[in-house]
A and B are shown apart, each in its own frame.
Chain A
Amino acid sequence: MAKKKLGLKERYAALTRGLDWETTYEPMDEVFPYDRYEGIKIVDWDAWADPFRLTMDAYWKYQSEKERKLYAILDAFQQNNGQLNISDARYLSAVKIWLQGITPLEYVAHRGFAHAGRAFRGAGARVACQMQSIDELRHAQTQLHAFSHYNKYFNGMHNFAHMRDRAWYLSIPKSFFEDAYSAGPFEFVTSISFAFEYVLTNLLFMPFVSGAAYNGDMATTTFGFSAQSDESRHMTLGLEVVKFMLEQHEDNVPIVQAWLDKWFWRGYRLLGLVGTMMDYMLPKKVMCWKEAWEIYWEENGIALFHDLGRYGIRLPKHHEVAGKEKHRLTHEMWTTLYQFGNALGLHTWIPNDEELDWFSEKYGELFDTMYKPRLLYLRELEEKGERYFNNRLPMVCQVCQIPVFFTEPDDPQTQCVRIVEHSGTKHHCCSDGCKDIFEREPEKYVQALIPPQQVYRGEAGGATNIFEYAAWLHLERDVDTGEYRGSPDHQHWLEWQRRHKAASPDEAA
C-alpha cells in the first residue's frame, strides 16, 4: 500500500482530536458539568485551533531532554557550593519571596489546569490544559529542588509551607490564584494562561531571571529559563482560548472583556512584588521595573491588545494607571516591606549609595525628590541604632490584599484609598482597579480572608502583637525576619566568603 506522509497538523488531529466522542449513555451535560455556567457560548468545538501540536511522544522527548539538562546543573550546583557564587546574600530575599509566594502557586496552577483539562468538552482544549497541568507540577517541583539547597544554608525558607497558608503578605499571591481556581474553567484559563502568562509573566521570567543569571544564581536561572519554554506553550494556549471564545459568539465579547479588565489589574498588582524583587533585591541590576514595563507591557502587551481589536476588544481598564505608577510602584512597595519587616520571612535593608545613584539614573526627578530623601532618612535612623519598624499589621486591600499604601494616580503625595460598602459593611480597596473588581463580584470578595483581621479576631494562635504573630508563622525573630545587616544570613555570608577566598587562592587572584 502506498504510504501517505502525514503533516504535523493532520497527525496531531488524528492522534488527539479524534479521541473524544459524544456520549449517549450519559448526558454530555453530566459528563461535562462545568463548561456552560459562565455563560460562554461555544457553537463549534471543532473550530478550536491547537496551539503547539505536541503529541505525548514529542512531549516526552523534549521535556526529558530539558529535565536532564536541568538536573545535571542542579547537581553540579549543589556539589560545588553554588550558593557561594551569587553576587551577595541580599539577593536571597528574592529567592525567599519566590519560594514562599510563587512556588506554591505552581501547584495551584497544576490543580486549576487539571480542573480545566477535565471540564471543557472539546478534546483539543482539554489536552492543552492537561499538558499545562503537568507542566505546572514540573515548575513546582523543579523550584523546590533548586531552592532546597539554598534552604540548607540560609534562613526564611524552611517554613514556607506553613507560611503559605497563613502569612499576611503571602495572601497576595494566594488570593490571586485561589480567585482564578475558584472561577469557572474559561475564566481560569483566561486569567492564568492569557492575562497572567501571555501578558504579564514575561516580566518575571525574562528580566528577573536574566537578573538572576547576572547575580550568579545558576539554580534559578536554569529552572527559570527552562520553565519559560513551557510558558511559551501556555501563552499560546491562553491566546487561543481568548480568540476562540471571541470567534465563537458575539455574546462572549463583553464577558471576555470584563475578565481581561479584571485579570490585567489583578496580575499587575501581583507583579508589583516582582518589580520590587528586580529593583531592590538584585544587587547587580539588569533592567529596572519601569524599563521592563515599557518593553513587556507598553510595547509587547499593547501589540497583543491591538491585535485583539478586530474582535472588539479594547485595552484593559486602568492600564493607564499602571503607566502612571511605573515611576513609583517599586519604591512604595519596598518601603512598605521595609517597615513591616518584623512580620516577613525575608530581610529588608536600605540600598547603598551606588544603588541610590542607579535609581536616580533610572527614575529621575521623582525618585530624587520623593523616595531618596525617605530612604536616606531611614538610613539615618538605622545608623543611630533606631532601625524603623512599624510593629502593627497594615490595612490591606479587600481584593489584591496588598497594604493600602499606593498613591493617587495623578498625585504621588496622596494616599489612594477607595471604600466600598456591601450589605452594610465597609471594605477598603487600594485602587479604582481593585474597587471595580470588588463591585463586579461583591459576593466573592466579601469571602476573602484578610489576615490582619484574623489576627484581631484572635484567629492567629491568639497573637496579640507582631512578634507573637511572627512566631505563629514559625518565623524566628531577627533570624528569619528583620534587617539584613547583622542578620545570621549576613554573618554567614561574610564568613563563608572569607573561607571560600582563603581556600581558593587562584580565584581570589
Chain B
Amino acid sequence: MADKVFLALQNNPDAQPIIDAVLEDNPGAVLNETPGMVKIDCPGRLVVRRASVEAKLGRDFDLQEIHVNLVSLGGNLDEDDDELVLSWGS
C-alpha cells in the first residue's frame, strides 16, 4: 500500500467545512480526532478542492484561507487556485 499523506486541522467550526469536503473528495481518507485537532490520513494522495469547500461553505473560498486553521501536513505539496494536493511518489 502507498505511504500515507496527511493533513491536520484545528478542530473548530471554521475548519469543519474543509474537513467535510476533504473526507468526501478522498474516499481513502481516515479521520483521527484528538483534543483540539483532527488528522486526516490518506494513502498516496489527498486533495483539497476549492469548489467542494465552497459548496459546503456557501461562499467563495480562497485555498490560502486554509492557513488560518491548518495544523500540519505530510507529503509533497502542490497548490494552485483550484486545488491543494499532497502526494508521495509523484
Which residue of A209, A211, A229, A233 has the most chain B CB atoms within 10 A of its CB atom? A229
Decide if A306 touches B88 in the complex (CB within 8 Å): yes
Given the contacts A225-B36, A307-B89, A66 and B80 also touching, CB distance less than 8 Å:
no
Decide if B71 touches A229 in the complex (CB within 8 Å): yes
Decide if B6 touches A229 in the complex (CB within 8 Å): no
Q: How many A-B residue pairs have CB under 8 A?
A: 95
Decide if A210 touches B88 in the complex (CB within 8 Å): no
Choice from A7, A58, A232 contacting B72 with Cβ under 8 Å: A232
B58-90 contacts to A, CB under 8 A, are 64-65, 67-74, 76-77, 79-81, 88-89
Which residues from chain B contact A214 at a C-beta distance below 8 Å?
35-36
Given the contacts A62-B65, A62-B67, A210 and B77 also touching, CB distance less than 8 Å:
no
Encode A290-306 as 1/0 by CB contact (under 8 A) with B. Answer: 00000000011011101
Choice from A209, A239, A303 contacting B36 with Cβ under 8 Å: A209
Decide if A304 touches B74 in the complex (CB within 8 Å): yes
Decide if A286 touches B34 in the complex (CB within 8 Å): yes
Q: How far is the CA of A304 from the CA of B3 in the complex (A)?
A: 9
Decide if B71 touches A206 in the complex (CB within 8 Å): yes
Which residues from chain B contact A221 at a C-beta distance below 8 Å?
36
A372-420 contacts to B, CB under 8 A, are none
Q: How far is the CA of A7 from the CA of B69 in the complex (A)?
A: 23
Q: Does A15 contact B (CB under 8 A)?
A: no
Q: How far is the CA of A509 from the CA of B6 in the complex (A)?
A: 42
Interface secondary structure of A, over-half rule:
helix
Q: Does A51 contact B (CB under 8 A)?
A: yes
Q: How far is the CA of A62 from the CA of B63 in the complex (A)?
A: 11
Choice from B4, B35, B65 contacting A286 with Cβ under 8 Å: B35
Number of A positions contacting B (CB below 8 A): 40
Which residues from chain B contact A51 at a C-beta distance below 8 Å?
77
Number of B positions contacting A (CB below 8 A): 28
Decide if B35 touches A303 in the complex (CB within 8 Å): no
Decide if A213 touches B73 in the complex (CB within 8 Å): no
A427-455 contacts to B, CB under 8 A, are none
Which residues from chain B contact A58 at a C-beta distance below 8 Å?
64
Decide if A231 touches B72 in the complex (CB within 8 Å): yes
Q: Does A235 contact B (CB under 8 A)?
A: yes
Which residues from chain B contact A233 at a C-beta distance below 8 Å?
67
Decide if B68 touches A206 in the complex (CB within 8 Å): no
A67 CB, nearest partner CB in chain B, Å: 11
Q: How far is the CA of A7 from the CA of B81 in the complex (A)?
A: 7
Q: How far is the CA of A503 from the CA of B73 in the complex (A)?
A: 44
In the complex, the chain A residue whose C-beta lies closest to that of B70 is A229
A62 CB, nearest partner CB in chain B, Å: 5
CB-CB nearest 7 A-B residue pairs: A303-B3, A213-B36, A213-B35, A214-B35, A210-B34, A229-B70, A62-B67
User: A residues touching B (Cβ–Cβ < 8 Å)?
Assistant: 7-9, 51-54, 58, 62, 65-66, 202, 205-207, 209-211, 213-214, 221, 225, 228-229, 231-233, 235-236, 239, 286-287, 299-300, 302-304, 306-307, 310
User: B residues touching A (Cβ–Cβ < 8 Å)?
Assistant: 3-6, 8, 10, 34-37, 39, 64-65, 67-74, 76-77, 79-81, 88-89
Chosen A-B contacts, 30 in total, with CB atoms closer than 8 Å, are A7-B81, A52-B64, A52-B67, A52-B77, A52-B79, A202-B74, A206-B72, A207-B34, A209-B37, A210-B36, A211-B35, A225-B10, A225-B36, A225-B71, A228-B8, A228-B70, A228-B71, A228-B72, A229-B67, A229-B70, A232-B67, A232-B70, A236-B77, A239-B76, A300-B4, A303-B74, A306-B3, A306-B89, A307-B89, A310-B89
